[in-house]
Amino acid sequence: MSGKENFEVNVNTEIGRLRKLLIHSPDSGLGKVVPSKAQDWLFEDIVHLDTIRKGEYDYYLKLLMYFLDPEKIKGKLADIDS
């Protein structure tokens, strides 16, 4: 993608249009998931926090922000890259 394409994303549910999004970063709470509870809590595997933060979560967040309004996230991308 060249970044010049103009996408319009609409997220709707039976309740209405999504107006705000709250994103929770993976934290040390993930380390409290014990193998005996992982299945009950719908975890497929016990995860390594640093791997999730630096690899998967950061990539997910950048992709998500690509589709959000750039004016609302102006100046916040540097926080993700650090």
Average pLDDT rounded to a whole number, residues 39-45: 66
pLDDT band at 3 (very low <50, low <70, confident <90, very high): low
Q: Which amino acid is at 72?
A: K
Helix (H, G, I), strand (E, B) or coil at 78: helix
Q: Provide the 3-class DSSP secondary structure of residue 49.
A: helix
17 by DSSP, 3-state: which? strand
The mean pLDDT value for 45-55 works out to 72
- Residue 4's pLDDT band, with cuts at 50, 70 and 90, is low
Q: Cα separation of 29 and 45, whole Å?
A: 14
Q: Report yes or no: 30 and 20 within 8 Å, Cβ to Cβ.
A: no
Q: Residue 81 pLDDT more than 60?
A: no
pTM: 0.42
The residues, any chain, with a CB within 8 Å of residue 77's CB and separated by 6 or more, are: 62, 65
